[in-house]
Structure 1
Amino acid sequence: MFINDIEKKLKDLNEQIKEIHQENEFNEMNLNYLRNQLTEIKEELNNSSNISIKEDSQSFINEVSIITSKKSKSNKWKQNAITVAGGNGQGHKRNQLKSPHGIFIDKKKHIFITDCFNHRIAEWECNAKEEQIIVGANKQGNRMNQLNWPKDVVVDQQNHSIIIADFENRRVIQWLNQNQQILIDNIDCYGLGMDKHGFLYVSDYVMNEVRRWKMGEYDNEGIVVAGGNGKGNKLNQLNYPSFIFVDEDQSVYVTDRKSDRVMKWRKDAKEGTIVAGGNGQGENLNQLFYPRRVIVDDLGQIYVAD
């Protein structure tokens, strides 16, 4: 039965590869998705208790490679972008946004946006003409079913819950099937992140730190993983941390806004390293000016919303 399941997954993956090939859409995102799918199958084979392996034998799969004759389209960015959400002026209609801040894209390529000044979380499906309001349809407020200037959002793709940094209400709140639960209260939250193990990361712009919580265990103060040494621009300090990004190694990238830099804190590090900016406020290529969002791709390249 186990081998049959693996065979079915491989057949499904083969069909996806054929479809992408026919549509001439081999790009970095698709390649990474295919690599991840193959890696999951590899891990199932190597870790399965249903298969007997001799002690001196090798694992079934040691390396996964995807080879294509097509050159990746992401080597050079196109200068004309495609609007995937909003684009119809500032407003509160379902085809509009008003000061969008945080963004999260799930495995289905659905886009979740903190529509900050509309006090709601919007979901935009691929090629959709208008959004679906999934959180915050009850106007601005501090009730459990309301938001007040939400800044960031992540989706726990294990249980499909929406986790929000509810900025003015000073809380991190979870929405699951229209049921709300405050995960962390009395916190000056701004940015959110989640690693592959399900740990939740929250930046606190008043305490100038980033803390980590184990999923489901929020009845404690969490663990400081960046900053926590007062406000400042030393390597062990932060000054108004906003958005964060957590990579595969649990390293935390932080936009340190008032220090005009992006910091990287490796797991268990006592201080961070400057990976962007840090040369004073300005418009030169080695400078930043109140940086906002940061993301890091699979090649380790860092992208900053300056």
Structure 2
Amino acid sequence: MLPPFSSLLILLIIAKSTQHIARIEYAGAPSTNSTDIMSYESTCLECVCYAFSSSNSSNYRSFNCYTNDKTCVFFADDLSSMLQIDLNSNFFFTKAEPMYIPIWNTTGINVTTAGSALNQTNHPYGLFIPANSDSLYIADSDNDRILKWLPGATSGILLAGGQGKGWNTTQFNSPREVCLDRDENLYVADSGNYRIQRFDYGSFISQSIAGNGSYNAIGNSFGNILGLGVDLYYNVYVSEYNLARVTKWIRNGTSGIRVAGDGTQGNTPSQLNVPTAFYTDPITGTLYIPNQGGHCVTKWLPGSSYGITVAGVCGQSGTNETLLTSPKCVTFDKYEYMYVVDGVGGGRILMFLPNSLVAIPIITNGLNNPISIAVDTQLTIYVSDWGNNRIVKYILLK
């Protein structure tokens, strides 16, 4: 085996998208577990292009490049710990880039204050920022309206509602969540009316696409709605916290299909426990669901009958970086970092790096029962600070 600091080793870092490629000269990994071999004409870089191109990058992690017969042997694993001295070989392998850890100014800036003017909110609930956009959409619950906030604006634009509490096509009763589809049609969880409303782009008049206005657990009915999402195929997802389920409503469908939870509150993999404002992967339909009663976040793949815990420990509350207390909302940024609104103290905002169960606390004071979170392309964080009747934002420092 090669000594750890062999003078024969030369490390060459070549930038490649979100990873690096490293080369170790005069070294090779045992090649008995690979039958994928190619010949090259001039240099080993031909094998680099083949092994780590976009079409093959999921297949190979390393390879030996033999200079004596101009061949390369490819491996699906990083075998750098198994290297042997080989004067006829160069060993290439992929190296992940150092993880970027963003830092925010933890002194928040008020976007809105308490009230009913267009620069104010009254117990705001759900927030939504479309992909590749910095426009903020607000479910201003107790003002029974939806506001749109453009980047840098000092007041919002009234998109829907604001006509007093009611049932008609221009009114809401305590809207809790808002989202957009890829055509910028607006979807609103009109929770007090037990229905989901869609506003075609530019329209101030809605149509009911799910729910008939009655509280029920069957048919075209809802329980208490706290989460809403839509995917690229116009499928709508709704969480009902008292019915411990998330249902999927196919476009023009007349009833929902249960896609998460078995309908009973609990902490087993097949159950949800007071599901709240979840995140919908628009491409795959994968759901990331906060369990407010279960103190965890679970991931539900399409077609699965059970969830996978991705934050917290289901059934156990706590205040440290591995436990949650009554999480209320989850979202992701452009780096696929996950953000959780947690209920510890007055409320805190946590960030989880990909595949990590250990949180990085971002905001730990100054909030009063935060409900929802959204992150724009500049990593500005917006929080609906429900108890303070405001939207507050936190600016990225680096």
**How high is the TM-score relative to the length of structure 1?**
0.71
Number of the residue aligned with 1:265: 300
2:147 aligned partner: 122
Structure 1 CA distance, aligned partners of 2:306 and 2:168? 38
Query: Which amino acid is the alignment partner of residue 205 of structure 2?
Result: N
CA distance in 2, matches of 1:139, 1:260: 35
Question: Quick one: which amino acid aligns to residue 137 of structure 1?
Answer: G
Correspondence list, 1:170-209, <5 A: 170-176=194-200, 177-185=203-211, 186-188=221-223, 189-209=225-245
Q: Larger RCO: Structure 1 or Structure 2 (Cα < 8 Å, ≥ 6 residues apart)?
A: 2
Establish whether residue 228 from structure 1 lines up as the match of residue 262 from structure 2.
yes
Q: Distance in 2 between matches of 1:297 and 1:237?
A: 27
TM-score, normalising length: structure 2: 0.55
Q: Residue in 1 aligned with 2:278? A: 244
Give the match's secondary structure for 1:117: helix
Q: Which residue of 1 aligns with 2:310?
A: 275
Q: Which residue of 2 aligns with 1:98?
A: 122
Displacement of 1:73 in angstroms is 11
Q: Within 2, Cα distance between the matches of 1:82 and 1:74?
A: 22
Q: Which has the higher strand share?
A: 2
Query: Is the CA contact 1:140–1:148 (under 8 Å) kept in the aligned structure 2?
Result: yes
Q: Which residue of structure 2 lines up, in the alignment, with residue 166 of structure 1?
A: 190
Q: Output the CA distance in 2 between the equivalents of 1:303 and 1:77.
A: 14
Task: Say which SS state the counterpart of residue 192 (structure 2) adopts.
Answer: coil
Give the counterpart of 2:102 among 52, 65, 76: 76
The structure with more radius of gyration? 2
Q: Structure 1: which amino acid aligns with 2:302?
A: K
Change (3 A) 1:62 1:288: closer
Q: Helix, strand or coil for the counterpart of 2:177?
A: strand
Could you tell me the percent identity over the aligned residues? 28
Displacement of 1:127 in angstroms is 0.4
2:323 matched residue in structure 1: 287
Residue in structure 2 matched with residue 255 of structure 1 by the alignment: 290
Aligned match of 2:181 in 146, 156, 179?
156
> Is structure 2 residue 213 aligned with structure 1 residue 213?
no
Q: 1:123 to 1:217 in 2, by over 3 A?
A: same
**Partner letter of residue 153 of structure 1?**
V
1:25-79 deviation line (CA, Å, top 9, x unaligned): xxxxxx99xxxxxxxxxxxxxxxxxxxxxxxxxxxx956xxxxxxx999632222
Please list every run of 5 or more consecutive structure 1 residues that lacks an aligned counterpart in the other structure: 1-30, 33-60, 64-70
Measured against aligned partners, the alpha-carbon deviations of 1:202-252 in whole angstroms (never above 9, x if no partner) come to 1122221111122x3221x22211102412121101121111112243211
Q: Partner amino acid for 2:114?
A: Q
- Asked if the contact 1:98–1:116 (Cα under 8 Å) also holds between the matched residues in 2, the reply is yes
State the secondary structure of the residue aligned to 2:207. Answer: strand
Kept in 1: contact 2:181–2:232 (CA 8 A): no
Contact 1:279–1:286 at 8 Å: present in 2 too? no
Aligned letter for 1:230? T
CA RMSD after TM alignment: 2.7
Q: Could you report, residue by residue, the CA deviation over 1:98-127 in whole angstroms, capped at 9, with x for unpaired residues?
A: 222111113442110101121111100010
- The whole-number CA distance in structure 2 between the counterparts of 1:279 and 1:206 is 17
Give the stretch that moved more between structures: 280-289 or 115-124. Answer: 280-289
Residue of structure 1 in register with 2:43 after alignment? none
Q: Report the Cα distance in structure 2 between the residues aligned to 1:72 and 1:128, rounded to whole angstroms.
A: 35
- Report if aligned partners of 2:227, 2:238 keep a CA contact under 8 Å in 1: yes
Partners in 2 of 1:296 and 1:97 — Cα distance?
A: 24
Other-structure match for 2:164: 139
Shift of 1:149: 1.1
3-state SS of 1:123 partner: strand
8 A Cα contact 1:150 1:168, kept in partner: yes
Residues 131 and 236 of structure 1, relative CA distance in 2, 3 Å threshold: same
Unaligned runs of 5+ in 2: 1-16, 19-52, 56-96, 212-220, 343-398
- Give the conservation status (yes or no) of the 8 Å contact 1:241–1:254: yes
Amino acid at match of 2:140: D
Task: State the 1:301 CA deviation.
Answer: 2.8
Distance 1:77 1:132, change over 3 A: same
Number of matched residues? 238
